[in-house]
Structure 1
Amino acid sequence: MQRDALLAALGERVRSLRARRGLTRKALAEAADVSERHLANLEYGIGNASIVVLHHVACALQCSLAELVGDVSTSSPEWLLIRELLENRSEADLRKVRAAIGELLGNAVVDAARGQRIALVGLRGAGKSTLGRMLADHLELPFIELSREIETLAGCSVREIHDLYGTNAYRRYERRALEEAVQIYSEVVIATPGGIVSDPATFNELLAHCTTVWLQASPEEHMSRVAAQGDLRPMAASQEAMEDLRRILDGRAAFYSKADLRVDTGGKTEQKAFDALCAAVVPVLAG
């Protein structure tokens, strides 16, 4: 069956946004109140969904309908002119522009303690909790696992937050937990949830107040480590677990890459990975 180009592009956009949010197709279908088959047809570009269905899917993905079906920068002449200026610029140039815009609009933050707060980012199974705790002990700094702080604030588990209140509520707790951690600690090691990059406002907060380290590994290693822990969330209900994991990593990699430092834990023993993390972080702390 020949797919319509517009529907194919829409389907790819839905898959990309779903991967970035770390949602399985089944979870998104439930959140959007559409059938999983209907959603699958939409993702593969063979389903001509109604505007109501697209609205439900956009809400479940926490994005505007405009972002789902196209480019938000088409919404006004100023957006178009700005987009033209940024077209084909390098990532380095775009980073400078983002910093300059933040300063121009009064959103830039100068945090003297930023270099003393180390935040580990990456997918589940990267070693954030284990290596983070080892690093904190080595540096004699407090260690925070942000997921546990979120649970303390909510008074229930992360899964219960999602099940009872939804993803939007979870993101609010995540933002609040990060803000409190930054406010309380000027020196700390933080292990962040894998999906913290899904909310740009929270991720901007993290980048502004912490030196960030992306702990990298291959999808196969992420999967094997999570399985070794006896936990296959959030992919336990999916028959295409590895494909889902690859999509999540692909959807988030561009955001993880904004971290100040990268440490590849792939193919390393726990001690070797820790040594690599120390080698990257200690010079930053030393100034």
Structure 2
Amino acid sequence: MSSTILHSVGDAAAEAPVMAGDAASLADEKNPFLVALGERVRALRARRGMTRKQVALAADVSERHLANLEYGVGNASILILLQVAQALQCSLAELIGDVTTSSPEWLLIRELLEGRDEATLHRVRVAIGEMLGTGGAAVHSPRVALIGLRGAGKSTLGQRLADDLGFPFVELSREIEKFAGCSVAEIQALYGQNAYRRYERRALEEAIQIYPEAVIATPGGIVSDAATFNLLLAHCTTVWLQASPEDHMRRVVAQGDLRPMAASREAMDDLKGILAGRAAFYSKAQFHVDTSAQPLDATFEVLRRTVREALGLPV
């Protein structure tokens, strides 16, 4: 494919070749990301022992365009970057500076894990957690965490399970609001999603520290932050409460949230998309209970038996 049609619209100014001296004079005008990208391209080219001309030919881009990219003034399209990565025989992640490509050890670990199945990756993750002292698999922890999308039944079933076990019941969303001094909606509106995730992590850390035994109902998005989810998996017995999208929607509306009804078709599509995107993470829970498969009382009995057997308690 010709490199000409792959240049981004904003690349016109980058067509003129830039020499090292000129690049230095433009240092204050350069975007730091583009400068770092150019440095990585040069370093990767040096590691491969390739001249700029060789890389340009292999990538099917002009040498002038590659020079501008290396000097941090070429705002290349994603397809150009992909071609350059292929020419340098590296991943696109390495080219753009993913942290897991930032050192030889990271790269060697990535190579060892590449192509492994989920079961093997799980064993590696647990082993790393144990080696680093951050926790492995919390198989028998009397700290039970219920995960799943909103409307799965975490609050209703969680309170009943806590009463049955004689454990404290912790609604993590309420703990987040205590830390912030305002509602979850206000946190997100005033401070943004990143601030909310920080409060979420802090609330989980405190719950783990305070409660050796507890039933914790977690927010549906707790799987969105890998560090927080790792903490949860390492210190809690985890149960994914699953439900059909229709049941999720019906229960949310029953809780008094009428917003989905404003555009029900779009809301249902969004809900299905969120559920699909998070399912792979929810499935990392040690146990799964389908809350759409039977009535509430029968579902609670399944959950109760599952947790009691896991904790070695009489059923």
Q: Give me the TM-score of the superposition, normalised by structure 1.
A: 0.70
In 2, the alpha carbon distance for the partners of 1:154 and 1:166 equals 12
1:211 aligns with 2:237: yes
CA contact (8 A) 1:235 1:244 kept: no
Q: Highest CA radius of gyration, 1 or 2?
A: 2
User: Any gaps of 5 or more consecutive residues in structure 2?
Assistant: 9-74, 79-91
Change (3 A) 1:142 1:226: same
Q: Quote the residue 1:12 is aligned against.
A: none
Q: Quote the residue 2:152 is aligned against.
A: 126
1:103 aligns with 2:130: yes
1:89 aligns with 2:119: no
Matches within 5 A, 1:1-287: 73=100, 77-108=104-135, 115-231=141-257, 240-286=266-312
Aligned length: 227
Letter in 2 for 1:93: T
- Report the RMSD for the aligned CA atoms in angstroms: 3.2
Q: Quote the residue 2:47 is aligned against.
A: none
SS of the residue corresponding to residue 118 of structure 1 reads: strand
1:96-119 Cα offsets, whole Å, 9 max, x none, are: 11122223344336979x621111
Q: Return the offset for 1:166.
A: 0.7
SS of the residue corresponding to residue 134 of structure 2 reads: coil
Q: Return the offset for 1:267.
A: 3.3
Letter in 1 for 2:248: H
Change (3 A) 1:280 1:145: same
Could you tell me the percent identity over the aligned residues?
69
CA contact (8 A) 1:120 1:190 kept: yes
Letter in 2 for 1:102: G
CA contact (8 A) 2:137 2:233 kept: no
Q: Quote the residue 1:59 is aligned against.
A: none
Query: RCO higher in 1 or 2 (8 Å CA, sep ≥ 6)?
Result: 1
Change (3 A) 1:185 1:104: closer
Q: Give me the TM-score of the superposition, normalised by structure 2.
A: 0.64
SS of the residue corresponding to residue 240 of structure 1 reads: helix
CA contact (8 A) 2:144 2:236 kept: yes
In 2, the alpha carbon distance for the partners of 1:130 and 1:204 equals 25
Change (3 A) 1:285 1:102: closer
In 1, the alpha carbon distance for the partners of 2:119 and 2:312 equals 25
Letter in 2 for 1:130: T
Letter in 2 for 1:249: L
1:205-253 Cα offsets, whole Å, 9 max, x none, are: 1111110000011112111111222215689678611111111111111
Letter in 1 for 2:125: R
In 1, the alpha carbon distance for the partners of 2:113 and 2:276 equals 23
In 2, the alpha carbon distance for the partners of 1:262 and 1:232 equals 28
CA contact (8 A) 1:118 1:213 kept: yes
In 2, the alpha carbon distance for the partners of 1:249 and 1:125 equals 12
SS of the residue corresponding to residue 190 of structure 1 reads: strand
Q: Return the offset for 1:138.
A: 1.2
Change (3 A) 1:81 1:279: same
SS of the residue corresponding to residue 141 of structure 2 reads: helix
Q: Return the offset for 1:79.
A: 3.8
Letter in 1 for 2:294: K
